[in-house]
């Protein structure tokens, strides 16, 4: 895991090298491969900087990830959170003396949904991602 996530794209690109080497290209082709995308694309900033410094006239880029051939600034992710809501027990005839954990949890879920709706309504979303 993590040693070469891009095997397919890299193999396809490198397989084209003999063809490109024989072609009458107007500009050279450069390959750039980054690393550690799982922990924040650690390799990308230095790759971009070096490409800009040495090959600032690069006209085209092929992005190997499945991004419809468009450079992107982010990728969808997922987070699993576990939340514990603790209530305070009370007799059903004296509910005002207790706190229903179910009711508090329901309000929490509603708060999250309302926050998401407000962000969408305010336009505080990235157009690159579909909001559920």
Please, are residues 58 and 51 in contact by the beta-carbon 8 Å criterion? Answer: yes
> In this structure, are 68 and 80 located in the same domain?
no
> In this structure, are 36 and 89 located in the same domain?
no
How far is the C-alpha of 91 from the C-alpha of 16, rounded, in Å?
75
> In this structure, are 80 and 67 located in the same domain?
no
- pLDDT at position 99 over 60: yes
Q: Which of 27, 53, 75 is the last residue of a domain?
A: 75
Q: Which residues form the domain of 126? A: 76-132
pLDDT digits (tens, 9 = 90+) for 46-94: 888 888 888 777 777 776 765 555 666 665 666 788 999 999 999 989 9
How far is the C-alpha of 32 from the C-alpha of 62, rounded, in Å?
10
> In this structure, are 89 and 71 located in the same domain?
no
> In this structure, are 16 and 50 located in the same domain?
yes
- pLDDT at position 2 over 60: no
> In this structure, are 102 and 80 located in the same domain?
yes
Task: Indicate the number of domains in the chain.
Answer: 2
> In this structure, are 52 and 80 located in the same domain?
no
Task: State the residue for tokens 């992710």.
Answer: 77
């Amino acid at each position: 895991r993590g040693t070469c996530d891009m095997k397919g794209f890299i193999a396809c690109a490198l397989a084209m090298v003999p063809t490109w080497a024989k072609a009458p290209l107007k500009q050279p082709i450069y390959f750039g491969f980054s690393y550690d995308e799982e922990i924040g694309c650690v390799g990308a900033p230095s790759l971009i900087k070096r490409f800009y410094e040495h090959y600032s006239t690069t006209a085209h880029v092929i992005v190997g990830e499945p991004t419809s051939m468009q450079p992107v600034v982010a990728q969808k992710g997922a987070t699993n959170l576990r939340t514990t809501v603790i209530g305070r027990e009370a007799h059903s005839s004296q509910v005002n003396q207790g706190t229903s954990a179910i009711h508090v949890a329901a309000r929490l879920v509603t708060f999250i949904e309302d926050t998401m709706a407000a962000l969408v309504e305010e336009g505080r979303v990235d157009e690159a991602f579909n909001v559920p």
